């Protein structure tokens, strides 16, 4: 059966996915200084449109958990799905790596490991498989870490990704954090090469919209289309046709223009601070090698 999902980006790693009268929300956060415009926030009027809301919280870092989500149950039926290592007393159904949940008819969730606190989530919604990485990433600090620390981080990351690579994933939300400096995209590149999601949407770049735009421009390859949603409130309509192809569109032209303006407002990259000068995994070159 043909499926249709509306994906909305809020801020940092926060996304929602609307499917019929059900809304999934992942790692919602309005920003340390309230960067998210109140017009874009998930408000009472928006939440009331849905029969059920499922809020996923990957871990207990402030940039992945906005306390406001626990007030939403005043407006509609809200179900919280949280990592098993959340503090005692946290509202929600707990999931550890390997756990599976049948949330409702047509929606199943599986938890996978992380390389930081908490878990990552794979959610099958009407046959479309969404992966939200949380803080799963190759967390290395090339300018500061020792070679041993980098090797250990690399081994931990590969071990965490291995079970995910056995899954078919349609859309993955994955970190590209420029605070890591050069080669910050190595984790996302490895994820693309091993897991091969059909679509990857960059996240966890705070206010650096230019990072998401440039990564999408350079990282797409034969197996994976990288799509940036750099503007707060950007929406992506994903429609699956009868043959299983995913058709994508940005339904709001005004929002598209706002996204462009947001990207233009960022500080331009210079030769001194451009994180894209080097890459551990040159995707375009590797894709060409695969074809030869």
* Alpha-helical runs (H) found in the chain: 44-47, 147-164, 186-195, 209-219, 253-265, 283-291
- Encoded tokens for 31: 């920003």
User: Residue 229's closest CA among 29, 14, 59?
Assistant: 14
Per DSSP, the chain holds a count of helices (H) and strands (E) of 6, 15
pTM metric for this prediction: 0.85
Q: What tens digit of pLDDT does each residue of 130-188 get?
A: 999 999 999 988 778 889 999 999 999 999 999 999 999 999 999 999 999 888 899 99
- Taking the C-alpha atoms of residue 9 and residue 107, their distance in angstroms, rounded to an integer, is 21
Examine the pLDDT at 292 and tell me if it is beyond 70: no
State the average pLDDT over residues 189-213: 96
Report residue 98 CA to chain centroid gap. Answer: 19
pLDDT at position 86: 92
161 Cβ neighbours under 8 A, 6+ residues apart: 136, 190, 191, 194, 195
Q: What tens digit of pLDDT does each residue of 247-281 get?
A: 999 986 444 454 455 444 544 444 445 444 444 44
pLDDT at position 284: 39
State the average pLDDT over residues 16-37: 94
Which domains occur in the chain, in start order? 3-291 (3.60.15.10)
- Taking the C-alpha atoms of residue 229 and residue 269, their distance in angstroms, rounded to an integer, is 19
State the average pLDDT over residues 78-82: 96
């Amino acid at each position: 059966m043909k499926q249709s999902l509306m994906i909305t980006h809020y801020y940092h790693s926060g996304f929602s996915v609307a499917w019929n009268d059900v809304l999934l929300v992942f790692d919602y956060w309005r920003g340390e200084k309230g960067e998210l415009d109140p017009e874009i926030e998930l408000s009472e009027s928006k939440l009331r449109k849905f029969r059920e809301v499922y809020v996923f919280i990957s871990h207990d870092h402030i940039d992945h958990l906005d306390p406001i989500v626990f007030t939403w149950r005043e407006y509609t039926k809200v179900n919280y799905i949280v990592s098993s290592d959340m503090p005692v007393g946290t509202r929600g159904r707990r999931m550890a790596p390997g756990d599976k949940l049948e949330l409702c008819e047509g929606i199943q969730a599986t938890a996978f490991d992380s390389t930081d606190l908490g878990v990552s989530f794979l959610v099958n919604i009407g046959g479309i498989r969404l992966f939200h990485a949380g803080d799963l990433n190759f967390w290395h600090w090339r300018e500061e870490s020792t070679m041993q620390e980098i090797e250990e981080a690399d081994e931990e990351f590969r071990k965490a990704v291995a079970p995910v690579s056995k899954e078919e994933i349609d859309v993955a939300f994955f970190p590209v954090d420029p605070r890591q400096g050069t080669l910050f995209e190595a984790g996302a590149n490895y994820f693309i090469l091993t897991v091969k999601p059909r679509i990857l949407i960059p996240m966890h770049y705070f206010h650096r919209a230019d990072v998401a735009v440039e990564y999408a421009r350079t990282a797409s390859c034969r197996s994976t289309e990288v799509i940036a949603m750099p503007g707060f409130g950007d929406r992506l309509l994903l429609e699956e046709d009868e043959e299983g192809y995913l058709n994508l569109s940005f339904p709001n032209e005004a929002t598209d223009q706002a996204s462009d303006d947001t990207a233009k407002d960022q500080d331009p990259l210079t030769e001194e601070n451009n994180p894209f000068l080097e890459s551990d995994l040159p995707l375009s070159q590797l894709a060409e090698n695969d074809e030869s």
